[in-house]
Structure 1
């Protein structure tokens, strides 16, 4: 499982980087279209918005894997043993619940907007943009479960080391 999630994380980082490049290129085209006469790119703003959405949601999932989400360092750094495991477990549980909400609501939004197309790119469905939400939610849940598992085993190993 860990190997699969590591591969997923690497894939997500590449996808986020690709969407960052698309976002950057679209913003540059937007700025250029303001100053270069005759250069019009009407779809760049919309594509930049959707690339940014994907970049943020996929990046947020990777941050859950890296435990880069919000934590109170003062508490986590000064607590050890079972209290630390409890705090970490509550954090992971909250992330799992949040991921579940993202999946449920994200699938609803995806299906609601699946038939709609982008204004300036009528060949692309808006549902693809909303699809980032349930994908990120599922990934966050899986990454949080893995983090919980690792924290539990780390606690278990430290207890066994203390007993010896």
Structure 2
């Protein structure tokens, strides 16, 4: 297990940034857990912790760079609509919305920046994102783990897990594209 410390470090480093594609790495960690090379609780904790650190940094960026973030979000009607939509729902639905926004395309960034801009309490935001990141880490690692159990081979497992991740991301992108066109349509 000592030789796998590099994998835990890599999982933290790739889970923190919001737009760094790391699905294959996380699925590979699930395969390694199945093979007994990594610890399941430690992988889940590492991935969720890394993502939560990234969420805290996004929130902090929104708080400390408020004028710049507002200018950036105001540059396009689509961003303005996303900010307004997210802020309204965050105040109306609270913690359940904070958890759910993580699973929308660009939800980590828009959710974190919005939470900071609309003064959503940082503790409640981080609690919601902690729950969301734990769920995300669990199903992401499970793809590789169960793939390895079913396919009995690490390479095939990683390929299947990556394929499933790409399919889910593709469907989410299609759904968000259709919904975002409606969200920014001018009102008569």
TM-score in same-fold range (> 0.5): no
Relative CO higher for 1 or 2, CA cutoff 8 Å, sep ≥ 6?
A: 2
Question: Could you state the TM-score of these two structures normalised by the residue count of structure 1?
Answer: 0.32
**TM-score w.r.t. length of structure 2:** 0.29
Larger-gyration structure (1/2) = 1
